[in-house]
Chains A and B, each alone.
Chain A
């Protein structure tokens, strides 16, 4: 396409960014230290408001927070476990789906295209409901009954959209490698499989890493969705603690406390992603 060079630079950068974001499915988080400080400020204000309303016979806000921290931490462990597992399952499945998207066989290609778009178009919450309600709560293998806990079903529900997004990331990375590389490998007597595994994929890893980490941060933030379908994650635990205490003035303090945990976890990941993006952007 003929180009208007004067107008190009910024517009092209934005179009590429939109393209990358399309593979991700949502906007990447851009956490900065100042966000943590704001959250901390909100937490302090929330504690202050609650402390001002503490009655004579009630424990202080900090004591209440300390008392419930183990309960909340247990919920946070679920968030982390769900995010790890969903990412692992989604990555493995998504990798092969993304590779199938460039297969030389048309039916495989078409099937992969449909699967990816199906799971990308379906809202996360609907997929979560789908897995929560349709998977059995136990399976019988050789006479022994193996229970399937709620959170593993939720993990699978989140792994499905992650799979579709990973597939898009993989496809984007593979297609960003110049086709001349395939031709060069072919002329050196590499077959298609060898070219894919030995030449294309090693170059893709670096390109896939930043969007993959962005996706992980998005997923971690999305794990709070499992509270809607009744998994005991941090959000659910916070709600339970608040209803157990039945002191509405604690609302701000507890929610900002929960968000601080998420921030503390996601912030290093987000910073590291930005660093990697900057480092790899130059070399491409």
Chain B
């Protein structure tokens, strides 16, 4: 790869297009780490938020009033406040409370994961709940009349249908979550935006780095959108939804 890096070094010297993330080993390594951090953040938050969504939707279907009310207020709080405020609340508010004597117990990366997962999870609860409720009672009754037990009907009939109904909305939410990971910049999580800002402060190549960053995000989010849409099409049940 050395000739390629050398070519970019030459590009910088001859035209001033300073792609230090390509020819400089140190910048290359930290940009790669930032990219991996963005991917990790996005993947972890997606998994956790879906878990929160499933658990929350399950609790909302329970007969006990107290857990239902807790989930209800959780959704209301997290879907109607800006994610930045939520991040600050976790990091500065709760973070200062749980700080031990030797420093913070929970790292800023962990706070970002927690905060973003709860943010996206609140929407997921609603999405899954709506999906489950969209499965008509008659379908469940039909399953029961065929000898399915309650649990079997839930696992084999309701959930597969509910998941397919939920997928378009889930798709929206997860794409939005990937975009929201940039907010972790505000609490100094070394993700792509943060690392890029470090690089442009060191190398003073703001325009080039900005364009690289914008392109990276465009491609990353574009890829997620494309994959999710593909998946949505593959999972579509004819006549179910539009």
Contact = CB atoms under 8 A, between A and B. Distances in A.
- Please say whether chains A and B are actual partners in one complex: yes
Interface of A: 1-4, 6-8, 10-19, 21-22, 25-27, 29-32, 34-35, 38, 117-118, 121-127, 129-130, 133-134, 221-222, 224-225, 227-228, 235, 248, 251-252, 255, 259
A259 B84 CA distance: 12
Contacts of A15: 165, 168, 241-242
Contacts, number: 143
Contacts of B92: 251
B242 A19 contact: yes
Nearest to B170: A18
A122 B82 CA distance: 18
Contacts of B82: 221-222, 224-225
Contacts of A3: 239
B242 A16 contact: yes
A17 B92 CA distance: 36
A130 B210 contact: yes
B214 interface: yes
Contacts of A228: 84, 183, 185-186
A1 B180 contact: no
A228 B76 CA distance: 25
Contacts of A255: 85, 88-89
Contact of A133 (B135, B169, B210, B221): B210
Contacts of B123: 27
Contact of A11 (B171, B186, B241): B241
B130 interface: yes
14 contacts: A6-B138, A7-B136, A10-B134, A22-B172, A27-B176, A38-B76, A122-B218, A123-B179, A125-B185, A127-B214, A130-B214, A134-B210, A228-B183, A259-B85
B173 interface: yes
Contacts of B182: 123-126
Interface in B121-154: 123, 130-131, 133-136, 138-139
Interface string B193-205: 1000100100000
Interface string B44-78: 00000000000000000000000000000100110
Given A18-B172, A221-B82, A259-B81, A121 B134 contact: no
Contact of A27 (B79, B88, B206, B222): B79
Contacts of B185: 125, 228
A94 to B, nearest CB: 18
B80 A31 contact: yes
Contacts of A29: 79-80
A224 B85 contact: yes
B176 A12 contact: no
Given A3-B239, A121-B218, A126-B213, A14 B169 contact: yes
A126 B241 contact: no
Contacts of A125: 182-183, 185, 193
A7 B240 contact: yes
A114 B193 CA distance: 23
Given A123-B217, A129-B193, 13 more contacts: A1-B238, A4-B240, A11-B134, A14-B169, A38-B73, A121-B222, A123-B182, A123-B221, A125-B185, A125-B193, A133-B210, A252-B93, A255-B89
Contacts of A2: 238-239
